[in-house]
Homo-oligomer: A and B are copies of this chain.
Amino acid sequence: MRIVVALGGNALLRRGQPMTSENQRANVRIAAEALAPIARKHQLIISHGNGPQVGLLALQASYYNDAETYPLDVLGAQTEGMIGYLIEQELGNILPFEQPFASILTMVEVDINDPAFNNPTKPIGPVFEEEEAKRLAREKKWVMKKEGDKWRRFVPSPVPQRIFELRPIKWLLEKGTIVICTGGGGIPTVYDNKGNLGGAEVVIDKDYAGALLAKELEADMYIMATDADAVYTGWGTPEVKALTNVTYEDLKNEDFDPGSIGPKVISACWFAEKTGKKAGIGSLKDLEKITTGEKGTTISPGKDKAGEVFGRKI
């Protein structure tokens, strides 16, 4: 099978952990252990989030005043470099030396008229206390919102429209290469009115971008690895239930957290509908069993249309 696995930002950095490179490398090593059995059996494409990392880089740059803060496309490209490198190196340390790898910088187009530009929904970077958050909002003109009992920076997250480097990715897969791409949802790019491609000050949802990647690569399965072992309904009630095998019909009347599991459920339904293939959502440690449907939540194509676009409420 050809399988696209999207690693959540939390698979790379657990909540509350300091964002040191040692912590990230240690987490990437755990992810690599989970990915290795898939790589031995299947054709593997790895995507990953970058929310904590891209926000940290922006913050670091903003503390050093002799150079301006780099825009989110440039910082996104930096995180593709950093995270792609760590994944490639740590997975390479587990698999045979002969296994070819390639981490490909990936530009993803967004529509400049996407209404998401006016509504920052994507949290990035570390959490702050209220006072520090208000100072950052004032000084950096960042949008700071409450997340739980702390504050975070929020940026727009428009829908991914096109992945530019698809052909090189396909050529490398045909040669048996493990490809790491579309990291952080891809480097956000837009066309200006002269037809030139440039950067966008946004962070694309990596689950949406991974679904688009999996569809375009005609993948047999799209798996989103996260810190939950399945999709749950009735969370926080006595009727809490882990879902095993579902379709869009089972999900469309449920209410999922738009800040975490929601985009995964939407991406899974979209991929299943567009391709007729299955998507999986579950814990990184269960990765191998998610491919066989023994663990996690498997989303199969349903009868109803999940819709043409991402971003809709399920």
User: Are A74 and B86 CB-contacts (below 8 A) given A20-B67, A68-B21, A105-B103?
Assistant: yes
Contact B102 A85 (CB under 8 A): no
Within the assembled complex, what's the spacing in Å between the Cα atoms of A19 and B175? Answer: 39
Within 8 Å of chain B (Cβ to Cβ): is A115?
A: no
Stretch at the interface among A75-83, A209-217, A244-252, A300-308: A75-83
Contacts of A105 in B (CB 8 A): 81, 84-85, 88, 102-103, 105
Contact assessment for A67 and B78 in the assembled complex, using a CB-CB cutoff below 8 Å? no
A77 vs B85: C-alpha distance when bound (angstroms): 6
The interface-forming segment of A57-65, A146-154, A274-282 is: A57-65
Contacts of A61 in B (CB 8 A): 60
| Residues of chain B lying within 8 A (CB to CB) of residue A171 | 171-172, 175, 177
- A197, B74: Cβ atoms under 8 Å? no
**A70 proximity list for chain B (CB < 8 A):** 21, 82
Complex Cα gap A60–B70 (Å): 11
Q: Which of B19, B60, B189, B196 contacts A63 (CB 8 A)?
A: B60
Q: Chain B nearest CB: distance from A69 CB in Å?
A: 9
Contacts of A67 in B (CB 8 A): 18-20, 56, 60
Residue pair B168, A92 in contact (C-beta under 8 Å): no
Residues of B within 8 A of A79 (CB): 78, 81
Interface size class of A (residues with CB under 8 A): 35 or more
With most chain B CB atoms within 10 A of its CB, the pick from A56, A81, A196 is A81
Q: Cβ of A93 < 8 Å from any Cβ of B?
A: yes
Quick check: is A37 within 8 A (CB to CB) of the other chain?
no
Instruction: Assess the A85–B107 pair: CB atoms within 8 A.
Output: yes
Q: Closest CB-CB distance, A191 to chain B, in whole Å?
A: 10
- A160-182 at interface with B (beta carbon < 8 Å): 164-165, 167-168, 171-172, 175, 177
- In the complex the two chains form, is A85's CB within 8 Å of B73's CB? yes
At the interface, yes or no: A126 with Cβ under 8 Å from chain B?
yes
Are A64 and B60 neighbours in the complex by a CB distance under 8 Å? yes
For A82, A88, A199, which residue has the most chain B Cβ atoms within 10 angstroms?
A82
Name the contact of A81 in the complex, choosing from B60, B78, B168 (C-beta under 8 A).
B78
Q: How close is A98's CB to chain B, nearest CB, in angstroms? A: 10
Question: Which residues from B are CB-within-8-Å of A74?
Answer: 21, 82, 85-86
Shortest 4 CB-CB contacts between residues of A and residues of B: A81-B81, A77-B85, A103-B105, A102-B168
- Can you add 12 more A-B contacts, CB < 8 Å, to A78-B81, A81-B82, A89-B189? A18-B66, A56-B67, A57-B78, A70-B82, A74-B86, A77-B82, A81-B81, A102-B104, A103-B104, A167-B175, A167-B177, A168-B177
